[in-house]
Amino acid sequence: MKPTPITEAPADAMDRKAIKPVVCYPVDTLPRPDLAAYRALRDDLELTKTVIVPPRDAATWTVPAGHFFRIVCSEGPQVGDLNLFNAHDPRERLYTGKTRALNGTHVGLGDQLFSNFPYLRPIATITHDTLDWYGFDEFGGSVHDVIGTRCDPYTHNLLSHGGHYHHCCHSNLTRAFAKTTGMPVREAETYVHDVLNVFMCTGFTRDTGQYFMKASPVRPSDYLEFFAEVDLLGALSACPGGDCSSEHSSDAAACYPLVVEIYKAKRLPEGWAPPAINGYDGTHDL
């Protein structure tokens, strides 16, 4: 609980609070993907690879630019924590902070996922979402957030006064990335980044602004589909929280595998080219 205020409100407090917000980043000038051009390819996709992500563990895959990949709910309600890297240089990776600032707290159909500085370009575009009917619920919750970082053993250790749980999403992603790249685990860990929480239903409580989760509405055969804007290395953890209805950082919740499917399209979207890295000159006036 936050402490009650100790500062007396000024006389014009109500006026100050009544000021209407403005959107931080008006995105009228943001180049938008031609969603229809991407979706026009979806009727004729060839499945080229299937990757199973075991419960309470993670797996990786690569997907070439111009291909699609889907994250599929297979056997039961399950949340997935997604990391994305440039397949040729893992220093370029998903930047949830700016993706959130540009798209909102939750992402869906037509939204683009951006990479970190100094690259800052779209690395994936969401081309289908079978949960797009959900919108926002009465609690302010929605699916596929870019606000929740990832469950991790450090926060668990703080909150449980010393606990050691090794199958949080952070650890699962670290193990999978270390195995794929051959990096020592301590080095691999530094590349693991804040995730897109696929299928997770989250929001902030209206009264205290606290991050909340509730049972995911995902059901078997639901999927979230992406178009790879650049050659990608993906890593996905099947969260130990299962549908994240009660707790994570333990083996208590029912957990299910997730499936990643990679699809080749017969052609590239009309007018599409891989996005160049960001055009800022990088001198910072030095």
Closest CB to Zn ion among 192 and 239? 239
The answer to whether 53 and 237 have CB atoms below 8 angstroms apart is: yes
Residue among 168, 132, 145 at smallest CA distance from 96: 145
The answer to whether 63 and 264 have CB atoms below 8 angstroms apart is: no
Residue among 55, 217, 236, 215 at smallest CA distance from 130: 217
Compute the least distance from the CB of residue 188 to Zn ion, in Å: 17
Residues with Cβ within 8 Å of 236's Cβ and at least 6 positions away in sequence, in order, are 53, 58, 59, 60, 71, 80, 81, 82, 83, 198, 258, 260
Closest CB to Zn ion among 151 and 259? 151
Closest CB to Zn ion among 46 and 247? 247
Stretch that binds Zn ion, among 131-139, 238-246, 259-267, 273-281 (CB under 5 A): 238-246
Residues 134-173 that bind Zn ion (CB under 5 A): 151, 169
Compute the least distance from the CB of residue 241 to Zn ion, in Å: 5
Site string for Zn ion, 191-230 (x = CB under 5 A): ----------------------------------------
- Rounded to whole angstroms, the Cα distance separating 263 from 50 reads 9
Compute the least distance from the CB of residue 27 to Zn ion, in Å: 29
Residue whose pair of structure tokens reads 């995902």 in the numeric block: 218
Count the neighbouring beta carbons within 10 Å of the beta carbon of residue 39: 16
- Rounded to whole angstroms, the Cα distance separating 19 from 141 reads 25
Residues with Cβ within 8 Å of 280's Cβ and at least 6 positions away in sequence, in order, are 118, 120
Residues 28-57 that bind Zn ion (CB under 5 A): none
Stretch that binds Zn ion, among 5-13, 226-234, 235-243, 270-278 (CB under 5 A): 235-243
Compute the least distance from the CB of residue 168 to Zn ion, in Å: 6
Stretch that binds Zn ion, among 19-27, 133-141, 181-189, 237-245 (CB under 5 A): 237-245
**Is residue 270 packed enough to be buried (19+ CB in 10 Å), middle (13-18) or exposed (0-12)?**
exposed
Closest CB to Zn ion among 112 and 172? 172
259: which strand partners?
A: 52, 72
Is 82 among the residues that bind Zn ion (CB under 5 A)?
Answer: no
Is 239 among the residues that bind Zn ion (CB under 5 A)?
Answer: yes
Compute the least distance from the CB of residue 133 to Zn ion, in Å: 24
**Helix, strand, or coil here: 175?**
helix
Compute the least distance from the CB of residue 169 to Zn ion, in Å: 3
Stretch that binds Zn ion, among 23-31, 44-52, 114-122, 239-247 (CB under 5 A): 239-247
Compute the least distance from the CB of residue 83 to Zn ion, in Å: 12
| Contacts with Zn ion, residue ranges (CB under 5 A) | 151, 169, 239
